Structure 1
């Protein structure tokens, strides 16, 4: 009977005490120390081996849990991982976890990922070579984060330029942009110099953010352009497992696949990995353009203790495409109709190709020698390999019998080229923290070495000109028509003219032309630089003092018997001051100089060109304010600047016996105002905006008519806005909207002074729709909504660079 009674009692408890077996739902929120929600944080329930990722409001939810005690681990990059023990019971089902900032003072080069998953970035290494809050850097630094890149479904670097103030395209080519009115060609990856030999724009699957250091940056990064320097920051391994796969398709038969895998490789999390993959096959609105792109980018970080960090990156990037030299138009006179040919119009042949391979390896080491001194070392090896065949214009129209141009036919040349380029970059520096009375010092003492080589063996196989009766080719001479073969009453071209009225894109075999094989000259230059920088803190003031001694050596006639070293040097100062009256606002002022060496072939032969000539020296004065709003979710930076570049060489043409004489008489100046806004007005409302007003012009020239002439592809006004709103209403949860507008004012081309060829202003509108459910994200982007015809840049009448008409992209992503 006792056994029966016990059994009945247990049954009764089960029936009449459901609370004892009720399933509960645990919900909660992850915040930082300021009670701000942390979206994207990982919270793991140990006992159930269940992982949740917090939403936009930092919240999470674990349903169907039995009452009891549970252990959680909470982590997010940039914060210390926290272990939490929680007793789940009726009336106690809500958990708040506060994460503390992780101390990253060891880093001299970025090795751990950025803590924000937002449009706003807080810290950077590129402005000072130390991890410094942007508001304490006395110089404007614009940026585009991977979140903006993802929301705009951008795939190549050229797709994100519209988000940078004072930045416009010069052409379609790699890093060929205008910054603050000056043409830029320098590029950095994680603060290390890369060659800019490639034509194709780099891909973005392994990019954390793109930064633009505004104005001269020579005090830190050797010879740089006066308008600014682009620095690409790559994604780094995380100490928690994250995986994502994304597929997209859209206009111009675009198919795209990307993957991102990261996490620890051992239980102690001393060895971390990341693997970024991307593949795209796409055509273009341009005839015979588009191509195939592949990126494989593994990265490994080794952190054996709290004093040492080692990072290794390998990037393999291959592009199969054609070299797009832009849109030609009829005639080359003032007032020429830009619409005389469609924007899809290109010159070339079906069998043209441009195969490019970029491989680079980066190794970085940071070692904390003492509590006050850290040693940093980085090395990058970069290989560029090109295999090219192109039919392109000779930059002139076809010639008739009388030597007059035929405005509907382009003179043509062919190039078959194979070439390689190697680049080495080593940077070594110490960071020392010292105090002198009330002053705190962060002193950077460093050395840089940059080596660039075009090796022996690079060669081209070219055809151009007009056929001569003696079997040779040459430029047509209207005074000696008898020397040339005639065809239909006009001189016969070596490479058939391209008819702008009836274009022919059929396969053309270059063996049918008279070709000349030319070995490209081997070249070599190297840079040695030593620098000293002191960041001084005193109360509400931050001062920056920097000085760099630069030695640039160009080896003229490299590998030949008459090899000659042409040396140039410069002492480059940098001074800045930041005043922070209260936490949300900083005011700053700076003076810095830039440096670019003159071409060795020119300064290496004073008997021909004159001289000696000083390097190009630029200087910049800049003042501005950096502010934060909405609990520091949104940043706004405004800057006023003046940049002046001196020692621009110009040909004198005063002595007929010395037609190549040069003089340092050129000067260009740029003045302007820039505004950048990045971040979130609300946790579910993100925005990035930029605006610039500037005037970049020639202020000194041997030709008086050039003074006051505006620089090419440098509009007086330019701006953009992109915003994303995610609904928080339960009925619309997961739905988001994106919208943007971009304006670019009128611009000169390189040939405007000659033939009045000016590019018109344009305004573009873009839109996007997002939907997130569980671990899936659906995206649909519509660019150039109103199908505005526009040109993003241009050289002259046969090289204009039109922007894409209306186009769309639809993507689906899965995170696990």
Structure 2
């Protein structure tokens, strides 16, 4: 009986196991070494494992049938294999991984090798290497190839290709979805790290791989940011393949530009890579008395001692000599009453600036699934300034009435320095639970910004007093002031004599001035007031993927400390805290179409410079914001072309605006609530391999919805925000001929349009809309390329932005740039 039972169970066991099979295999890297701790799952079964130290994996007792095996790990491309399991057999797989530099270098240490208008990955939106189509937030970008083809050198010319981005002035000063963001603030990023610029000059782009904008608040990852969006400048990184290029440009406005870009390995093993970008620019500009000389030195070195560790060093040094251009002034409300070349400078004005950004970063991969990133960015800026500029009001007669033909001027002499340090460290960990794939990020930021003691400013303005000195004019006591005779249209009258000569729009009096003759006041100016603030930020983020659905959850806790009365005996800490959530989801409808939605919150402490200014009317409450957004992200033509659509609503409270008070230009007012609602559409990529296109359109209804408690401000309700056009768009396309007769030739054509904008909200003044047409011709022969860019072909008169009709910022008239480049 016992023998019978044994035989019976043996037969049953044999029968049962005969209905199952096994899968086993080994995974190796490109060098043939075992790939340890790679996630291996059988899709739809809930079964998963990790490769051993020898790269082996195994699944036993599998029902017969067909399976999809998926293997993922940090630093490798996703692996998909179809495996058939037969009864009583073992399917054996030998797999070799392909390195995915993007998956490893979450801080973009190694350079982008692509050479198209399209960019597939975004590191900045999630601090993981996530395809842009899988990020639940709108992202616009411009690659170096677009900037090269358009002959772009400054940031303002690059961002015109982005939906929802508009110039506020022709400084480093923009609106994104109707919310202002400028280089003088600290909400800009370079390689994902916090920085600032000098505000007065747009950053050059010759050392940039691309410019990208995360639309809406990015506060959950980066702390206090603009609710409209955050600009990230990605610098060019070293490449493994040697490349060298020289570029020479000349053209309108006495422009001379020389650029160089060298990259490649520094040793045979290619573990040490370098890149060096150099630039020299000398241009006059189309405006009277304006010029700009720039020297740019931007070296970068990458050290890859092992396949698990990468170290990078970046330096961007920019020295600029120029004049500060405060814009065009016109008479009354007539925009065309003066030339767009009109500048209020004196011949001996100057602005000397020096900026440096030094970045050191380390990426280490502990396992296939866990990596650590740490980066440090040091920003330094110095300014040496002498300027004659508008006092933001007209000159007055003895009764205190404005004389439209005269623009009152003031003089600033200023020296200042500012510094910023940003340390960012975070861990990435990828893992699977059943059919769910996880990307987890945990990080910490420290940001410190200082304007140390030692800066200073002298200001000369007002009207001369008989008793000596100068003061604002008071029509009730004219006997205290010095008068002189002023002749206009053949009529002579006596008017108060200014401390600084008025600018006469009919005479265009740009002279060499003697500042020693002015009566100066040594002032505590906002831009020279010692400032110190620091920010500590802790954040967590989870990206969860289950089949077609991806969910992103993020939470950040910030502690913001501002030293009030910094460097004085009354120095105190003002501390603020903020919890910043982010939630988003992406669902794959088809292989070509993803639908997404997101909700985020943001905040921004008021600028420490404004807060510390005794004339601003503060202190002011911090800015709070929220974003709700949804849309589509699509790919077409075998992935060559992307087309994205976003619909959004942004709400912000406690924004500061100038009170436009002539007696106190520094006075600010805090608006209760603003809302921006809009639609954006972007197309980027290649219609054909030799036909590139980039297209953008945005509709943005950005209004003040609550003007606060002051009755006088209620007229501002439902007013469109300053320099926020309701409609704007752009298109650029380049076609390169491939037939023998025209081989080497290419043509580019494009343009952009902007509708009417408000420039002042208290006494409403507007700028007309405009549409510009641009073109280009290319010819490439061997290693040389000749390129001519023709801009504003219609020679339109237009204004990119402004503060009011005494401070307008016109765009350039018709111009050309001719470029020759040599690649070797």
Q: TM (normalized to structure 1)?
A: 0.84
Partner of 1:134: 132
1:155-199 CA-to-partner distances (Å, cap 9, x unmatched) read: 11111121000111100111x111101111331100111124331
2:386 aligned with 1:389, yes or no?
A: yes
Q: For residues 661 and 144 of structure 1, do their structure 2 counterparts lie closer, same or farther at Cα, with a shift above 3 Å needed?
A: closer
Quote the residue 2:515 is aligned against: 510
User: Which whole-Å CA distance do the structure 1 matches of 2:585 and 2:695 have between them?
Assistant: 26
* 2:72 corresponding residue in structure 1: none
CA separation of 1:445 and 1:154: change in aligned 2, threshold 3 A: same
Give per-residue Cα distances to partners, 1:342-363, cap 9 Å, x unaligned. Answer: 1111111110111111011000
Q: Distance in 1 between matches of 2:760 and 2:455?
A: 29
Cα pair 1:778 1:812 within 8 Å, conserved: yes
- Give the match's secondary structure for 1:349: coil
Matched, 1:705 2:715: yes
Counterparts of 2:210 and 2:748 in 1: how far apart (Å)?
A: 20
Q: Is the 8 A contact 1:394 1:413 kept in 2?
A: yes
Q: Within the alignment, does 1:418 sit opposite 2:424 as a pair?
A: no
Q: Distance in 2 between matches of 1:610 and 1:792?
A: 30
Structure 2 equivalent of residue 8 of structure 1: none
CA distance in 2 between partners of 1:184 and 1:317 (Å) = 21
Aligned to 1:559: 567
1: CA distance between counterparts of 2:613 and 2:823? 61
- Contact 1:650 1:666 (C-alpha < 8 Å) held by counterparts: no
CA contact 2:164–2:698 (8 Å) conserved in 1: yes
Q: Say whether the 8 Å CA contact 1:380–1:425 is kept in structure 2.
A: yes
2:619 matched to 1:622? Answer: no
Distance 1:395 1:441 in 2: 56
Q: Deviations over 1:648-687 (max 9, x none)?
A: 46999xxxxxxx9999760000000001111100000000
Q: 1:663 to 1:740 in 2, by over 3 A?
A: closer
Write the mapping of 1:201-350 to structure 2, written as runs, cut at 5 A. Answer: 201-331=202-332, 336-350=333-347
- TM-superposition CA deviations, 1:509-533 (whole Å, max 9, x none): 1001111234632111111100000
Note the alpha carbon deviations across 1:486-525, whole angstroms, 9 max, x for none: 2222111111111111011121010011112346321111
Aligned equivalent of 2:447: 450
Call closer, same or farther: CA 1:245–1:664 in 2, change over 3 Å: closer
Q: CA RMSD in A?
A: 2.2
Q: 1:495 aligns with which of 500, 508, 532?
A: 500
Pick closer, same or farther for the CA change 1:382–1:103 going to 2, 3 Å.
closer
Aligned residue number for residue 797 of structure 2: 789
Q: How far apart, CA to CA, are the structure 1 residues paired with 2:394 and 2:668?
A: 30
Tell me, yes or no, if the aligned pair for 2:565 and 2:612 is still in contact at 8 Å.
no
Query: Which residue is 1:369 aligned to?
Result: 366
Q: 1:401 aligns with which of 398, 413, 416?
A: 398
Q: Distance in 1 between matches of 2:446 and 2:578?
A: 15
The CA deviation at 1:715 is 0.8
Q: Distance in 1 between matches of 2:432 and 2:129?
A: 19
Q: Check whether the contact 1:566–1:604 (CA below 8 A) recurs between aligned residues.
A: no
What is the SS of the residue equivalent to 2:336? helix
Does the CA contact (< 8 Å) of 2:593 and 2:635 recur in 1? yes
Residues 1:545 and 2:557 aligned together: no
Secondary structure in 2 matching 1:154? coil
Partner of 1:645: 652
Rounded to whole Å, the distance in 1 between the matches of 2:667 and 2:156 is 38
Q: What does residue 425 of structure 2 align with?
A: 428
Segments of 5+ residues of structure 2 without an aligned counterpart are 1-74, 78-96, 486-493, 660-665
Residues 734-788 of structure 1: CA distance to partner in whole angstroms, max 9, x if unpaired?
100000021110111124x41x321111110001000011001110110000101
| Number of residues of Structure 1 aligned to a counterpart in Structure 2 | 705
Residues 88-107 of structure 1 mapped to structure 2, 5 A cutoff: 102-107=100-105
CA distance in 2, matches of 1:795, 1:298: 38
Distance in 2 (CA, whole Å) between partners of 1:253 and 1:238 is 34
- For 1:113, the equivalent position in structure 2 comes to 111
Matched residue, 2:807: 799
Within 1, Cα distance between the matches of 2:497 and 2:676?
47
Q: Give SS of 1:749's match.
A: strand
- What CA distance in whole angstroms lies between the structure 1 residues aligned with 2:382 and 2:756? 37
1:361 and 1:151 mapped to 2: Cα distance? 29
2: CA distance, partners of 1:517 / 1:596: 31
Residue number among 780, 783, 787 corresponding to 1:775 in the alignment: 783
Give 2:822's aligned residue: 814
Match of 1:722 in 2: 732
